[in-house]
Amino acid sequence: MQREEIVAMPESNNTPSDQQITGNGGHLLEVSDLHVEFRTSGGVVKAVNGVNYILDEGETLAILGESGSGKSVGVEAVMGIVESPPGFVTAGSVKFRGTELRGMEEDQLCKIRGHNIAMIFQEAQATLDPGFTVGHQISEMLRLHRGLSKEEATKKSVELMDRVQIPFAVERANDYPHQFSGGMCQRVMIAMALALDPDVLIADEPTTALDVTIQAQVMQLLSELQTETGMGIILITHDMSVIADVADRVVVMYAGRVVETGSIHQIFDQPAHPYTVGLMNCVPRLDRKEDNLNIIPGSPPNPINLPAGCAFHPRCSLARERCLSETPVSAEVGPYHQSACHFFEEVLVGH
Amino acid sequence: MNNTGSQDFGESVEGRPSKISWLRYLRGLFSDTTTAFAIIFLVLIFISTVAAEVVAPYDPIKTNLRMRNMPPLTPAVEDGSFPHVLGTDPLGRDILSRLIYGARVSLLVGLSSALVSGTLGTILGLLAGYYRGIVDDLIMRLVDFQMGFPFLLLALLVLLALGPGFWSVIFVLAIVRWMVYARQARGMTLAYRETPFIDAARVLGCSDARIIFRHLLPNMASPLLILGTLEVAGLILGEAALSFLGFGLQPPSASWGLMISGGRQYLSSAWWLATIPGFAIFFTALSLNMLASSLRSITDPLHRERWLMKGSD
Amino acid sequence: MTIFIIRRILQAAVVTLITLSVVFVVGRVVGDPVRIVIGIEAEETRVQEVRDQLGLNDPLTVQYWRFMTGALRGEMGTSFWTRTPTMPMVLERLPATIYLGVVTALLAFPLAILLGATAALKPHSWADRLINVTALGGVSIVEFWLALMLILVVAVQIGWFKTSGYGGAEYVILPALTLAYKPIGRISQMARSAIIDELRKPYIKAARAKGLSEQQVVFTHALKNAAIPIITTTGDEVATILNGAMVVETVFGWPGVGLLTINALSRRDLPLVEATVFVVTGMIIMTNMLLDVAYTYLNPRIRFQ
Cα B109 to the chain's mean position, in Å? 10
Encode pLDDT of C213-235 as tens digits: 888 888 888 888 888 778 777 87
End-to-end Cα distance, chain C: 9
Mark yes or no for CB contact A38/B9 under 8 Å: no
Burial C198-216 (b: 16+ CB within 10 A, else e): bbebbbbbbbbbbbbeeeb
Average pLDDT rounded to a whole number, residues A160-188: 88
Encode pLDDT of C159-217 as tens digits: 667 777 777 777 888 888 888 988 888 888 888 888 888 888 889 989 999 888 888 88
Encode pLDDT of B180-228 as tens digits: 898 888 888 887 777 787 778 778 877 777 777 777 777 778 788 888 8
Count of all residues that appear for chain A in the document: 351
Burial B134-169 (b: 16+ CB within 10 A, else e): eebeebbeebebbbbbbbbbbbbbbbbebebebebb
Any idea of the CA torsion for B240, B244, B246, B251, to the nearest 10 degrees? Answer: 80
A15: pLDDT strictly greater than 60: no
DSSP state of C220: I
pLDDT band for A339, please (50, 70, 90 cuts). Answer: confident
Q: Spell out which residues of chain B touch residue C151, defining contact as CB-CB under 8 Å.
A: 267
Q: Give the contacts of A230 (CB within 8 A, at least 6 positions apart).
A: A15, A18, A21, A57, A58
User: Under DSSP, is residue C111 helix (H, G, I), strand (E, B) or coil?
Assistant: helix
Q: Spell out which residues of chain B touch residue A43, defining contact as CB-CB under 8 Å.
A: 6
Which residue is closest to B2 within chain A, CA to CA? A68
Q: Give the contacts of B232 (CB within 8 A, at least 6 positions apart).
A: B107, B110, B111, B114, B288
Mark yes or no for CB contact A119/C301 under 8 Å: no
Q: Spell out which residues of chain B touch residue C137, defining contact as CB-CB under 8 Å.
A: 282, 286
Q: How far apart are CA A253 and CA A50, in angstroms?
A: 11
Q: What are phi and psi of A332, to 5 degrees?
A: -80, 125
Q: Spell out which residues of chain A touch residue C205, defining contact as CB-CB under 8 Å.
A: 76, 81, 83, 121, 127
Which residue is closest to A88 within chain B, CA to CA? B4
C14: number of Cβ within 10 Å: 12
Q: How far apart are CA C29 and CA C16, in angstroms?
A: 20
Short-list A234, A217, A207, CA closest to A72: A234
Short-list A273, A183, C235, CA closest to B148: C235
Q: Spell out which residues of chain C touch residue A79, defining contact as CB-CB under 8 Å.
A: 208-209
Query: What pTM did the predictor assign?
Result: 0.73
Interface of A with B (CB under 8 A): 38-43, 45, 47, 67-73, 83, 85-87, 121-122, 204-205, 299-305, 307, 314
**Residue A234: its pLDDT value, please?**
93
Q: Give the contacts of C82 (CB within 8 A, at least 6 positions apart).
A: C89
Contact A330, A307 (CB under 8 A): no
C37: pLDDT strictly greater than 70: no
pLDDT band for B82, please (50, 70, 90 cuts). Answer: confident
Mark yes or no for CB contact C212/A118 under 8 Å: no
Q: Spell out which residues of chain B touch residue A69, defining contact as CB-CB under 8 Å.
A: 2
Q: Give the contacts of C61 (CB within 8 A, at least 6 positions apart).
A: none
Count of all residues that appear for chain C in the document: 305
Averaged pLDDT of chain C: 79
Count of all residues that appear for chain B in the document: 313
Which residue in C26, C236, C281 is closest to B161 by CB distance?
Answer: C26
Mark yes or no for CB contact A300/B10 under 8 Å: yes
B102: pLDDT strictly greater than 80: yes
**Dihedral sign for Cα atoms in the order B300, B305, B306, B309:** positive
Whether residue B252 has a cis bond before it, omega within 30° of 0: yes
Radius of gyration of chain A (CA): 21
Instruction: State the chains in contact with A (3 or more Cβ–Cβ pairs under 8 Å).
Output: B, C
Contact A344, A19 (CB under 8 A): no
Mark yes or no for CB contact A178/C300 under 8 Å: yes
Q: How far apart are CA B161 and CA B159, in angstroms?
A: 5
Short-list C23, C57, C21, CA closest to C271: C23
pLDDT band for C121, please (50, 70, 90 cuts). Answer: confident
Q: What are phi and psi of B88, to 5 degrees?
A: -125, 165
Angle between helices B178-193 and B95-131 (to 10 degrees): 40
Q: Spell out which residues of chain C touch residue B274, defining contact as CB-CB under 8 Å.
A: 145, 148, 152
**Residue B5: its pLDDT value, please?**
36
A316 touches chain C (CB under 8 A): no
A147 touches chain C (CB under 8 A): no
Contact B149, C281 (CB under 8 A): yes
Give the 3-state secondary structure of chain B: CCCCCCHHHCCCCCCCCCCCCHHHHHHHHHHCHHHHHHHHHHHHHHHHHHCHHHHCCCCCCCCCHHHCCCCCCECCCCCCCCCECCCECCCCCEHHHHHHHHHHHHHHHHHHHHHHHHHHHHHHHHHHHHHCHHHHHHHHHHHHHHHCCCHHHHHHHHHHHHCCCHHHHHHHHHHHCHHHHHHHHHHHHHHHHCCHHHHHHHHCCCCHHHHHHHHHHHHHHHHHHHHHHHHHHHHHHHHHHHHHCCCCCCCCCCCHHHHHHHHHHHCCCCCHHHHHHHHHHHHHHHHHHHHHHHHHHHHCHHHHHHHHHHHHC
Q: Which string of DSSP letters, residue by residue, matches A42-74?
A: TEEEEEEEEEEEEE-TT-EEEEE--TTSSHHHH
Any idea of the CA torsion for C28, C33, C34, C38, to the nearest 10 degrees? Answer: 180
Mark yes or no for CB contact A110/C211 under 8 Å: yes
Instruction: State the chains in contact with B (3 or more Cβ–Cβ pairs under 8 Å).
Output: A, C
Mark yes or no for CB contact C280/B257 under 8 Å: no
User: Under DSSP, is residue A38 helix (H, G, I), strand (E, B) or coil?
Assistant: strand
Encode pLDDT of A340-351 as tens digits: 888 888 777 765
Q: Spell out which residues of chain A touch residue B309, defining contact as CB-CB under 8 Å.
A: 39-41, 85-86
Most confident range (mean pLDDT) of B205-209, C154-158, C271-275, C295-299 is C271-275
Contact A2, A41 (CB under 8 A): no
Mark yes or no for CB contact B2/A72 under 8 Å: yes
Average pLDDT rounded to a whole number, residues A72-88: 86
B54: pLDDT strictly greater than 80: no
**Residue C39: its pLDDT value, please?**
61
Q: Which of residues 154-213 of A touch C (CB under 8 A)?
A: 176, 178-179, 189, 192
C80: pLDDT strictly greater than 90: no
Of A116-120, C31-35, C231-235, the one with minimum mean pLDDT is C31-35
A236: pLDDT strictly greater than 50: yes
B3: pLDDT strictly greater than 60: no
Q: What are phi and psi of A312, to 5 degrees?
A: -90, -10
B20: pLDDT strictly greater than 70: no
Q: Spell out which residues of chain A touch residue B306, defining contact as CB-CB under 8 Å.
A: 86
Q: How far apart are CA B145 and CA B52, in angstroms?
A: 41
Q: How far apart are CA C240 and CA B238, in angstroms?
A: 12
Percent share of chain A, pLDDT over 70: 92
Q: How far apart are CA C247 and CA B156, in angstroms?
A: 12
**Residue A10: its pLDDT value, please?**
41
Contact C64, C266 (CB under 8 A): no
Mark yes or no for CB contact B286/C140 under 8 Å: yes
Burial B37-69 (b: 16+ CB within 10 A, else e): ebbebbeebeebbeebeebbebebeeebeebeb
Q: Spell out which residues of chain A touch residue B9, defining contact as CB-CB under 8 Å.
A: 45, 68, 300, 302-304
Q: How far apart are CA A29 and CA A117, in angstroms?
A: 10
Q: Spell out which residues of chain A touch residue C195, defining contact as CB-CB under 8 Å.
A: none
Contact A236, A71 (CB under 8 A): yes
Which residues make beta-bridge pairs with A203? A120, A235
Q: Spell out which residues of chain A touch residue B5, defining contact as CB-CB under 8 Å.
A: 38, 40, 45, 86
B7 touches chain A (CB under 8 A): no
Whether residue C123 has a cis bond before it, omega within 30° of 0: no
B302 touches chain A (CB under 8 A): no
Which residue is closest to A314 within chain B, CA to CA? B13
Burial B255-276 (b: 16+ CB within 10 A, else e): bbbbbbbbbeeebeebbbbbbb
**Residue B12: its pLDDT value, please?**
35
ipTM for the whole complex: 0.79
Percent share of chain B, pLDDT over 70: 87
Cα angle, residue B311 at apex, residues B305 and B313 outer, rounded to 5°: 90
Mark yes or no for CB contact C243/B153 under 8 Å: yes
Mark yes or no for CB contact A129/C221 under 8 Å: yes
Q: How far A286 CA lies from chain B's nearest CA (Å)?
A: 29
Q: How far B79 CA lies from chain C's nearest CA (Å)?
A: 34
Average pLDDT rounded to a whole number, residues A225-245: 88
Which residue is closest to A84 within chain C, CA to CA? C122
Q: How far apart are CA B308 and CA A143, in angstroms?
A: 40
Q: How far apart are CA C217 and CA C215, in angstroms?
A: 5
B59: pLDDT strictly greater than 50: yes
Query: For residue C180, what are the CA distances in angstroms to B153, B301, C127, C163, C165?
Result: 19, 33, 21, 16, 18
**Residue A283: its pLDDT value, please?**
77
**Residue A114: its pLDDT value, please?**
86
**Residue C219: its pLDDT value, please?**
82
C129: pLDDT strictly greater than 90: no
Contact C83, C208 (CB under 8 A): no
C63: pLDDT strictly greater than 90: no
